[in-house]
Amino acid sequence: MQKSILYLLMTAILLLGLTLPKKPMREIAQEEKQELVQYLKSQGMTPEDYVVSKFQDYDIVFIGEHHHIKHDVELIHNLIPHLYKSGVYNLGIEFGCYGYQRKVDSLLTAPTYDEDLARWLVFKWGSYWPYKEYLDIYRKAWELNKSLPPDAPKFRVVNLDYRANWDLLREEMNTVQRKRVFYKGERDEYMSRIIVKEFVKKRKKALIYAGAHHAFTRYYQPIYDFEKKRLIKLEKKRMGNIIYRKMPDRVFNIFLHYPWATRESLKKHDYPVDGVIDRVMKEFKDKRIGFDVKDSPFGKLRDDDTYYSTGYEDFVLSAICDGYVFQKHFSDYEGCTLDPLFITKKNFREAIRYLPNIRVRRLYKNSQQFLHDMEQRANIKKKFRDLE
């Protein structure tokens, strides 16, 4: 009897956790709503056409994501043939080590696709990134190259990052110890150097796909102490910041729709710009759209409660990005797909040793436990269950 009662209680708690009340969106005046709707009807494009169109005026286009959202990575898959047709042959990604670029080039031009090599390349960047959609960026580029005539230029995926010496990471470190971990310098500065080397100096156009914070260009991210409620600084050395300063007229930033952290905590989230974009998109049957933020009615949308407004007296959407892509409402979001072959008995110890979170290393006893936890980290539906 006691077991039955306990089971019912646990079930009730689980159901309550999955059915949180939805956070409200801001009400919009009819006039404001009509202006925004009409703008999208006249200027909006499919996400693929929108991203590609920016290369008419810009050389480097940054597209920034939340991470682990399935349809965001699938957009990059879809973009590869569109980019190629428009004469853009390069995709730079955060999710790989530039030190293995020769292996990437070899993989993408090989007669047959080597899925194990693709896994190895992502693993050597981040053992905590066992998601099929990211692996398949290489596959989609290989499929395109395989379909091209022998003498046609090949599409390249260029890994921008490096793997820090996470095994040397300590909870408290001095400057010397920190330099041993980040032995090639700060990651953003390193990635910006690769962009300059591979694309800017060679005068090649490229789409740069990374976490949104790495992709900031004009916007300076607040570094904030939430416990002391104190702004430490505005970070001016993100990858996109550095490239933007070098060529401000040739760089464009696109933001992929995701919930924004609040001023209260990075672990708490809400709709971007108080839910105005989400509310406007309820007027459209086809939800997939790309549109300009800069010099558009959307650029004037305010959000004083988001973490991103910290340090800014008059924060509006155009402060953080130039363009925007919306594909789904949050209730329809899905996480990326776990690759069960990514972590094995052979590479498990290395996977644990190179986790950038010291405290969780001792928690994992085997590869199955590790993969289960990584799958939960990408459980986007659960993370965003309080949003419409």
What stretches of the chain show up as alpha helix (H) in DSSP?
A: 2-18, 30-43, 47-53, 70-85, 101-108, 115-125, 132-147, 175-181, 187-195, 212-215, 239-246, 276-281, 348-353, 358-361, 367-377, 380-383
SS3 assignment, position 190: helix
Phi, psi of 221 (to 5 degrees): -75, 135
SS3 assignment, position 235: strand
* Residue 254: predicted pLDDT: 98
Cβ neighbours of residue 248 under 8 Å, at least 6 residues apart?
A: none
260 forms bridges with which residues in the sheet?
A: 270
The parts of the chain modelled with pLDDT lower than 70 are 1-20
Q: How far apart are CA 388 and CA 264, in angstroms?
A: 21
* Residue 304: predicted pLDDT: 94
Cβ neighbours of residue 150 under 8 Å, at least 6 residues apart?
A: none
What are 337-386's pLDDT values in tens digits? 999 999 999 999 999 999 999 989 989 999 999 999 999 999 999 999 99
Pairing of strands 269-270, 289-292: unpaired
**Lookup: tokens for 29:** 């005046």
253 forms bridges with which residues in the sheet?
A: 62
- Domain 40-383 in CATH 3.40.50.11550: yes
Which residue, 213, 253, 255, is CA-closest to 234? 213
Which residue, 288, 388, 363, is CA-closest to 75? 288
* Residue 19: predicted pLDDT: 59
Domain residue spans of the chain = 40-383
Q: Hey, what amino acid is at 308?
A: Y
What are 74-102's pLDDT values in tens digits? 999 999 999 999 999 999 999 999 999 99
Q: Hey, what amino acid is at 25?
A: M
